[in-house]
C-alpha cells in the first residue's frame, strides 16, 4: 500500500513538473505574452482614479489618462484588459454620473493616444471587447422600498432625467466618434472604409482601361470619397446638436468636460463639411461634372444641409449663452445652405457650346465649300493643279507722250503691249 501511494505521488509530481515547464515555455513566447499582475493592478488603480467619485472633469484627469497610456504601452496585451475593465465599469454603473465618467475616460483615451493606440482601441471596439453603448444607468437619485424603485422628489427626478438623457446622447456620440480618426494635421476625418470583398477571385482580371476611362474612374472615386465624408460629417453634427446639456446637468464637472470636447470637435467637423461642400459645388460645375448617382447623393446632402445648418447656427448661439461651454471658444461662422443650391445640384450640368459665327460668314463658307466640291466632282477642290502664264512685251516709242499699257491677249492667258490711239 505504501508503494502504491508513493507511485501516485511520483506521478502527480511528474505531471506538475511537466505542466510547469509547459507553462514556462508558453509564457516565454512573445505571441502568448500575458501582462504582469502588478501592471494590471496599476492599470486598474488608474481607472479607478479616473472613473471614481473623485474623478471626471478635474485637473488631474489628464495626468491619470497619460498614466494609463504609459502603462498600456509597456505591454501589448494590456489594452485588451483596459477595454474590458472600462466596459465592465460602464455596465455596472447605475448612476448617470458614474457612467458618464467611464464614457469620458474612453473619449480622452481616444484623443490622447497615438495612432497605434487609437487603431488598436478602435479595433477592440469593432470586436465588441470595448463597448460604449452599454450604459444601464437609472434615473437616480432613487429610493428603493419593497423592491420598488421610487424617485426621491419631483425635482430630483427632473435632474436625473436630464442627466440620463445626456449620458445616452453622449454614448451615441461616442459610438459614432469611433468611426473617425485624427490625421497628422490634428483634424478629424472619417476612417477609411474597408475594401469590398473580392467575389471574383477566380476570374481573370479586367483588361487595362484607357487613359480617359481611368481618369473618369478616378474622378468618380474622388467624388464618392468626398460625398462619404460629407455624409459622415452630417451624422456626427446631428448627434452633437442633440447633446446640449440643461442647466442642471451642466453643474457636473464631468458633463462640462465631456460637452467641451464634443463642442471643439464639432468645430473641426463643420470646417471640414463647409470645405467639402465648396469642393462638391466646384465639381458639379466642372467640365467632367458628377455622375448621375453622385449627383443624386449630393442633392440629398444639400437638401439635408438646408435644415441642418440653421439648427447648427442656433445650437452655437445657445452654447454661447450656456454655462456648459467655455466663453473663450472661437465659434465658426456657419453658412446656411439654401434650397436654391440644392435645386441647382439636382439639375443636369449645362454643356458649354461654342459661340456660332455670323450667319453671313457661315453661309459664304458653306457656298464656297459646295462650289469647290461641285468643281471636283465631290472630291478635294484642289485635286488638279491650275497654272496661268503671263508674258510681257516691251515696245519702244519715239514720242515721249506715248506710254506702255498692258492688256489681255488671246486665250493663252498672255499679256501684250498696246499702243494708245
Determine the pLDDT at residue 393. Answer: 55
18 Rama class: left (phi>0) / alpha (psi -120 to 50) / beta: alpha
Q: What does the alpha-carbon distance between residue 199 and residue 230 come to, in Å, rounded to a whole number?
A: 29
Grid cell, residue 366, equals 458653306
| Contact assessment for residue 150 and residue 109, using Cβ atoms and an 8 Å cutoff | no
Phi/psi of residue 93, nearest 5 degrees: -70, 130
Determine the pLDDT at residue 208. Answer: 46
Determine the pLDDT at residue 324. Answer: 77
Which of 58-62, 145-149, 319-323 is predicted with the least confidence, judged by mean pLDDT?
145-149
Express each pLDDT in 244-275 by its tens digit: 888 777 778 899 999 999 999 999 999 999 99
Say which DSSP state 185 is in.
Answer: T
Indicate if the pLDDT at residue 132 is higher than 60.
yes
Segment holding 383, helix H or strand E: none
- Percentage of the chain beyond pLDDT 90 is 39
Determine the pLDDT at residue 75. Answer: 85
Express each pLDDT in 142-175 by its tens digit: 333 444 434 444 544 555 678 888 999 999 999 9
Determine the pLDDT at residue 400. Answer: 52
Please name each of the domains of the chain with its CATH number.
34-142+155-163 (1.25.40.90), 179-194+219-349 (1.20.58.150)
Express each pLDDT in 191-230 by its tens digit: 975 444 444 444 544 554 455 455 556 667 788 899 999 9
Indicate if the pLDDT at residue 16 is higher than 80.
no
Give 66's pLDDT tier (boundaries 50, 70, 90): very high
Determine the pLDDT at residue 112. Answer: 94
Determine the pLDDT at residue 53. Answer: 73
| Residue 371: other Cβ atoms inside 10 A | 11
- Percentage of the chain beyond pLDDT 70 is 59
Q: What does the alpha-carbon distance between residue 359 and residue 342 come to, in Å, rounded to a whole number?
A: 39
Determine the pLDDT at residue 392. Answer: 57
Q: What does the alpha-carbon distance between residue 194 and residue 179 come to, in Å, rounded to a whole number?
A: 12
What is the rounded average pLDDT of the residues 274-279?
Answer: 94
Give 124's pLDDT tier (boundaries 50, 70, 90): very high
Determine the pLDDT at residue 285. Answer: 78
| Contact assessment for residue 27 and residue 34, using Cβ atoms and an 8 Å cutoff | yes
Determine the pLDDT at residue 216. Answer: 58
Amino acid at each position: 500500500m505504501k508503494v502504491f501511494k508513493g507511485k501516485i505521488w511520483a506521478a502527480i509530481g511528474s505531471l506538475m513538473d511537466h505542466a510547469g515547464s509547459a507553462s514556462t515555455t508558453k509564457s516565454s513566447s512573445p505571441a502568448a505574452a500575458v501582462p504582469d499582475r502588478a501592471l494590471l493592478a496599476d492599470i486598474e488603480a488608474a481607472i479607478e482614479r479616473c472613473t471614481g467619485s473623485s474623478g471626471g472633469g478635474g485637473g488631474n484627469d489628464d495626468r491619470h489618462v497619460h498614466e494609463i497610456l504609459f502603462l498600456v504601452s509597456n505591454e501589448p496585451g494590456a489594452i485588451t484588459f483596459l477595454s474590458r475593465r472600462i466596459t465592465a465599469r460602464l455596465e455596472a454603473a447605475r448612476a448617470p454620473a458614474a457612467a458618464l465618467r467611464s464614457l469620458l475616460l474612453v473619449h480622452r483615451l481616444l484623443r490622447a493616444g497615438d495612432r497605434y493606440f487609437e487603431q488598436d482601441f478602435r479595433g477592440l471596439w469593432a470586436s465588441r471587447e470595448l463597448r460604449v453603448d452599454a450604459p444601464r444607468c437609472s434615473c437616480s437619485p432613487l429610493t428603493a422600498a419593497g423592491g420598488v424603485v421610487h424617485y426621491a422628489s419631483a425635482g430630483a427626478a427632473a435632474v436625473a432625467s436630464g442627466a440620463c438623457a445626456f449620458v445616452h446622447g453622449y454614448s451615441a456620440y461616442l459610438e459614432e466618434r469611433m468611426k473617425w480618426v485624427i490625421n497628422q494635421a490634428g483634424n478629424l476625418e472619417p476612417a477609411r472604409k474597408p475594401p469590398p470583398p473580392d467575389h471574383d477571385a477566380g476570374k481573370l482580371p479586367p483588361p487595362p482601361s484607357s487613359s480617359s476611362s481611368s481618369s473618369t474612374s478616378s474622378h468618380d472615386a474622388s467624388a464618392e470619397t468626398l460625398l462619404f465624408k460629407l455624409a459622415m460629417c452630417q451624422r456626427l453634427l446631428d448627434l452633437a446638436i442633440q447633446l446640449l446639456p440643461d442647466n442642471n446637468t451642466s453643474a457636473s464637472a464631468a458633463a462640462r468636460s465631456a460637452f467641451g470636447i464634443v463642442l471643439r470637435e464639432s468645430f473641426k467637423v463643420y470646417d471640414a463639411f463647409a470645405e467639402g461642400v465648396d469642393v462638391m459645388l466646384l465639381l458639379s460645375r466642372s467640365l467632367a461634372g458628377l455622375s448621375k448617382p453622385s449627383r443624386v447623393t449630393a442633392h440629398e446632402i444639400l437638401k439635408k444641409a438646408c435644415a441642418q445648418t440653421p439648427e447648427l447656427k442656433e445650437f452655437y448661439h445657445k452654447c454661447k449663452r450656456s454655462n456648459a461651454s467655455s466663453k473663450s471658444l472661437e465659434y465658426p461662422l456657419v453658412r446656411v445652405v439654401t434650397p436654391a443650391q440644392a435645386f441647382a445640384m439636382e439639375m443636369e450640368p449645362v454643356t458649354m457650346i461654342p459661340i456660332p459665327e455670323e450667319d453671313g460668314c457661315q453661309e459664304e463658307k458653306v457656298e464656297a465649300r459646295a462650289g469647290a466640291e461641285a468643281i471636283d466632282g465631290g472630291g478635294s477642290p484642289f485635286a488638279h493643279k491650275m497654272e496661268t502664264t503671263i508674258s510681257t512685251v516691251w515696245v519702244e516709242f519715239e514720242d515721249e507722250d506715248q506710254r506702255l499699257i498692258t492688256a489681255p491677249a488671246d486665250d493663252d492667258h498672255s499679256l501684250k503691249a498696246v499702243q494708245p490711239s
